[in-house]
Copies of this chain bind each other. A is one copy, B any other.
Amino acid sequence: MEELLKFAPRPTGAGDMFQLLRDGQARTRADLAAITGQARSTIAARIDLLMSSGLIAPAGEASSTGGRPPVTFAFNPGARVVLAVDLGATHARLAVTDLASTVLAEVDAPLAIADGPERVLDWVAETGEKLIATTGRSTKDLVSVGVGLPGPVEHSTGHPINPPIMPAWDGADVPGLLSRHFDAAVLVDNDVNIMALGEHRSAWPEVSDMLFVKVATGIGSGIIADGALRRGAQGAAGDIGHIAVTSARDIPCRCGNLGCLEAVASGQAVANALSVGGLDAASSADVVALVRTGDLTASHAVRQAGRDIGSVLAACVSLLNPSMIVIGGILAEAGEHLIAGIREIVYQRSLPLATQHLRIVTSQTRGQAGVLGASALAIDHVLSPAAIDALIA
């Protein structure tokens, strides 16, 4: 029998019915019976279960065609909270959101990821607990935690694997370490994947094929194909920073290869090149500041970085045929220079069929992309049909 169960579609239960309500629209029992084709008595029992969990709540009365107007029900996103954690190399952003990813409280703080998983995650737990308290909720209301890390993460386990900028985290049991503090599910992913997810859900939910590109100290991307994040076989998909750039075959990269995109066009690479030229630029933020003061050398350097990124994105466009490329990360905040360079080469180097409906835009969620994506990751896990069925069982 166990073998047979592999092929089983779960019987449609309360969790499935709940998915219908996640759009926030209020519906009557009769609406739900009509949609699902299930008996009124079944619907009523499931409504009761979901009501007692708090996940749905009465939402007023529907207009009546005569007689007593029927009661409507809707998703109640405030029933629980999730903690969204976006960890970078040198900073962190934490947010508490409701079950619709509405941010209830948020905090930015400097952080050294190099301090290692124990210290960093202890700090995350402590800060997260305080942040939850500021919203008037307690950790009892916390159902899940979503975490983005600045390195490759094995999707099935939530463990970082060979992360170049955080070697002390290699193989760390991030879900296990956070579970010592919270009685909640912990979901972990690469930071650029969660940014792609956050940008997609919040700004472009109707776009099915999208590439999100982060240009900051490093360069990476997250792939949305057929409406969902695609992580590849080991969770390393989107790692475009080490693709070779046609025009830069002799520039060494920290990965050991020559001419990698990241060695040529990242915020750090541009800062290094500018500082060799005598400008005061140690980081991506300095590059953005220089461009904003109108420095022409810096503007030209950012535009050239855009062209180099564009040469790699042209290949990505041929391969993936997205209808949208979203450029995020701090270097995207240097005005139009970066995106202008990207557009120039993508439109030049790609086939017309792939670019005729292609939009290349700047991130709408900016610094919030990561926490919004971490929130979405955490929510998707606990509101799946199977999870809901287990929750209310």
Contact = CB atoms under 8 A, between A and B. Distances in A.
Interface string A225-241: 11010111111111110
Contact of A23 (B7, B38, B208): B7
Given A7-B23, A11-B37, A27-B4, A351 B319 contact: no
A236 B323 CA distance: 11
A246 B244 contact: yes
B225 A319 contact: no
Nearest to A19: B9
Given A12-B9, A244-B349, A351-B242, A233 B322 contact: yes
Given A12-B9, A221-B319, A226-B228, A243 B314 contact: yes
A275 interface: no
B11 A38 contact: yes
Interface in A310-324: 311-312, 314-316, 318-323
Interface residues of A, number: 70
A7 B36 contact: no
Nearest to A385: B9
A236 B35 contact: no
A209 interface: yes
Interface in A264-321: 311-312, 314-316, 318-321
Of A209, A240, A350, A351, chain B has the most CB atoms within 10 Å of the CB of A351
A339 B246 CA distance: 23
B35 A20 contact: no
Contact of A11 (B36, B209, B232, B236): B36
Nearest to A311: B244
Nearest to A324: B233
B354 A239 contact: yes
A209 B236 contact: no
A353 interface: yes
A164 B257 CA distance: 36
A114 interface: no
Contacts of A255: 351
B223 A319 contact: yes
A161 interface: yes
A108 B30 CA distance: 57
A321 B231 contact: yes
- A contact patch SS: loop
A130 B321 CA distance: 38
A193 to B, nearest CB: 11
Contacts of A242: 318, 350-351
A320 B243 CA distance: 12
Nearest to A247: B249
Given A243-B318, A244-B315, A354 B16 contact: no
A68 interface: no
Contact of A244 (B20, B226, B234, B314): B314
Nearest to A34: B1
Given A7-B23, A357-B233, A319 B321 contact: no
Interface of A: 1, 4-5, 7-12, 16, 19-20, 23, 27, 31, 34-38, 152, 161-162, 208-209, 221, 223, 225-226, 228, 230-240, 242-244, 246, 249, 255, 257, 259, 311-312, 314-316, 318-323, 348-354, 356-358
Given A233-B321, A237-B320, A315-B319, 17 more contacts: A1-B34, A9-B16, A11-B36, A11-B38, A162-B353, A223-B319, A225-B232, A230-B320, A231-B321, A232-B322, A233-B323, A235-B321, A236-B321, A238-B321, A239-B318, A240-B319, A242-B318
